[in-house]
Amino acid sequence: MCGIIGYTGFRPAAPLILDGLQRLEYRGYDSAGIGLLDPSREFELHRSVGRVTSLRESFDLEKSTSHTGIGHTRWATHGKVSTENAHPHKSHYGHFLLVHNGVVENFKKIKNFLLEHGYSFYSETDTEVLVNLIEFHYRQGQVAELANFLQATQKALQDIQGTYGIAVLCRDFPDRLLAAKNSSPLLIGIGEQEYIVASDAAAIVPYTSRVVYLQDREIAFISHDELDIYTLQTKKTSITTHLIDWSPEEAQRGRYEHYMLKEIHEQPQVIANTMRGHISDDLSTTHFGGIAALLTQFHRLDRIVFCACGSAWHACLEAEYLIEHYARIPVEVEYASEFRYRNAPLSKNTLIAVVSQSGETLDTLEALLEARRKGYSVIGITNVVGSSIARETDAGVYQHAGPEIGVASTKAFTSQLCITAMLAIYLGRLRQMDYTDGTAFIQALQELPKKIEETLLLEAQISEIAQRYHHYEQFLFLGRQTMYPIALEAALKLKEIAYIQAQGYPIAEMKHGPIALVSEHCPSFVLETQAAIFPKTLSNIQEIRARHGKVILVTTSDIPSEDMEVEERITIPRTHHALQPILATIPVQFFAYHMALLRHCDVDKPRNLAKSVTVE
């Protein structure tokens, strides 16, 4: 995800900003840029696609005399990966440079307004709209008056809808840096005769541990020796500072011991990001701009074939349950590696959908190419903008989960579940699902980040359970219908990072074989959230217990299982049927994480595994 750094102070700005950008690299990015303002009021702008090291090589650091500057690492959202789309962006008349994290939702409207007022645009980004809007207001006021810099920004930020973390330079004030935020992190490090603005503490802690956390809709107006904070209307009278006690290394992961844990905890925000822009104005359905062009085909579709690997394959299996249930379209789910060689007979009106977090998994890419070779339309669901799979598909949906660093997929998996649920409702509403059912889903979708937050509070309970179970060498994970893919995902997580033999199974199938494994040495996780079929699950639980198997039950509070004898009961919040799998995933992610920790495994880099599997 994008990163911001800004500096004004006694040091040369360029080396510090480049160093900060390198500290933000772990977040993932595709291009980077730096903008410097020298004392003679000239901007120096360098942007490049690729690594910060190539940006560093693109100019002579020794020659730079600036003490004020801004930098950015971009993870493409609006517009492809290119130098023109990289930040900083310069305003039309050259007064301002700006870096931005977030999304300006009403950028089209503002862009049209600015075009009518003679502004030109050189990138495909929403950010360029913001820098020009600030300039527009600046030119309406008393140019070259310091207060006008602040007021123009206040006005522009009042005009925009969306999220932002920004750092801005104005050519007329070489020692001034302005920063503002709304739903995008930004903090200000306070040094002696210097200030550092960053979206992440990692870029600040090498220089100072004293920081101010900017609040939403606040603006920091900074010079070498002065920091003032304003709202969008007035000045704030008091500023609260905090001390960061993390090492630079810890700062990248925040307070979390591992990226995997951080990524599990990021899920409320990730799901909010994934759903952003996909909810219809009448709140009765979802929509997908990226695949709208295939709309007519959706009406004629008689089959969807999903292809993926690993966790993404589990997300596809969930799609099968949901799309068949809500849209009545037959769905098949294929391992990408099997599909490409299988030569499956497909009818003319089949749509192929490939799902891949990295967008680079070779098996999935080859399955996609094979399908296209045969003339099928292919849509992609991926997390990485501009990845090979994103480029090769006819249309697609981005997950917006942010970079996933832990090898075990967590937030990317739940964001895929969120997209497949939204897709099921979208297709359902194009066919027979009614308005009321659509609104019930959208309401549940909007409440979901809150419910994920509640589910995250179960971590302490699950870590205690892991204490009791970490010496077991095998587990069964059992679920029915929409909980079956989650049982598979749970087993994969435990295998991957705790190196424990684990098997996911449809619960009723257990008696056709796996029950032979059940004993006091093999505990079973049972995932069940549907009241109507709970009595059946109860019988299966009794079959396990009759063979001395311990049972860890993941369920919802409305299911009357209090009297039932199970060793452990984990209660997750109730949500819409299509979204319940997302909440059920969180306890099993925590379980795998804490088991791995107790078994002293390398959580973020499990043995033999790679984050992106680009070999067959």
- Among 80, 109, 605, 611, the one annotated catalytic: 611
Is the dihedral angle over the CA atoms 454, 456, 460, 461 positive or is it negative?
A: positive
- The one-letter code for the residue type at 193 is Q
Distance between CA atoms of residues 239 and 273, nearest Å = 30
Q: How far is the CB of 401 from ligand AGP (least distance, A)?
A: 11
Is the dihedral angle over the CA atoms 5, 10, 16, 20 positive or is it negative?
A: negative
- Annotation marks residue 109 as catalytic: no
In the bound state with ligand AGP, the residue whose beta carbon lies nearer, of 104 and 352, is 352
Q: Is there binding between residue 415 and ligand AGP (CB under 6 A)? A: no
- Among 2, 316, 522, 601, the one annotated catalytic: 2
Q: Is there binding between residue 311 and ligand AGP (CB under 6 A)? A: yes
Q: Is there binding between residue 18 and ligand AGP (CB under 6 A)? A: no
What x-and-dash track marks residues 337-366 binding ligand AGP by CB under 6 A? -------------------xxx--x--x--
- Annotation marks residue 450 as catalytic: no
Phi-psi region at 288: left, alpha or beta (left = phi > 0; alpha = psi -120 to 50): beta
Q: Which stretch binds ligand AGP (CB under 6 A): 277-285, 403-411, 437-445, 561-569?
A: 403-411
Q: How far is the CB of 22 from ligand AGP (least distance, A)?
A: 25
In the bound state with ligand AGP, the residue whose beta carbon lies nearer, of 218 and 363, is 363
Q: Where are the beta strands (DSSP E) in 400-500?
A: 474-479
- Enumerate residues 477-496 that contact ligand AGP by CB under 6 A: 496
Say if residues 93 and 134 touch (Cβ distance below 8 Å): no
Q: Is there binding between residue 409 and ligand AGP (CB under 6 A)? A: yes
Q: Is there binding between residue 309 and ligand AGP (CB under 6 A)? A: yes
Instruction: Determine the residue with CB nearest ligand AGP.
Output: 310
Cα 154–chain centre separation? 29
- Pairing of β 187-191 and β 210-213: antiparallel
Residue linked to tokens 């959706």:
298
Say if residues 72 and 32 touch (Cβ distance below 8 Å): yes
In the bound state with ligand AGP, the residue whose beta carbon lies nearer, of 598 and 613, is 613
- Enumerate residues 252-281 that contact ligand AGP by CB under 6 A: none
The shares of helix, strand and coil residues in the chain, as percent rounded to the nearest 5, are 40, 25, 35
Residue linked to tokens 């709304």:
182
**Cβ atoms within 10 Å of 351's Cβ, excluding its own:** 24
Q: Is there binding between residue 420 and ligand AGP (CB under 6 A)? A: no
Residue 386 token pair: 């501009």
Q: How many residues bind ligand AGP (CB under 6 A)?
A: 15
- Pairing of β 524-527 and β 187-191: unpaired
- Enumerate residues 215-234 that contact ligand AGP by CB under 6 A: none
Q: How far is the CB of 382 from ligand AGP (least distance, A)?
A: 8
In the bound state with ligand AGP, the residue whose beta carbon lies nearer, of 334 and 496, is 496
In the bound state with ligand AGP, the residue whose beta carbon lies nearer, of 356 and 555, is 356
Q: Is there binding between residue 387 and ligand AGP (CB under 6 A)? A: no
Distance between CA atoms of residues 267 and 290, nearest Å = 23
Q: Is there binding between residue 408 and ligand AGP (CB under 6 A)? A: yes
ω into residue 88 within 30 of 0, thus cis? yes
Q: Is there binding between residue 99 and ligand AGP (CB under 6 A)? A: no
Q: How many helices (H) and strands (E) does the chain have?
A: 19, 24
Q: Which stretch binds ligand AGP (CB under 6 A): 89-97, 165-173, 401-409, 421-429?
A: 401-409
In the bound state with ligand AGP, the residue whose beta carbon lies nearer, of 73 and 356, is 356
Longest CA pairwise span in the chain (Å)? 83
Question: In the set 268, 310, 438, 549, which binds ligand AGP (CB under 6 A)?
Answer: 310
Q: Which stretch binds ligand AGP (CB under 6 A): 234-242, 305-313, 450-458, 585-593?
A: 305-313
Distance between CA atoms of residues 26 and 99, nearest Å = 19
Residues that bind ligand AGP (CB under 6 A): 309-312, 356-358, 361, 364, 407-409, 496, 612-613
Q: What are the catalytic residues?
A: 2, 611
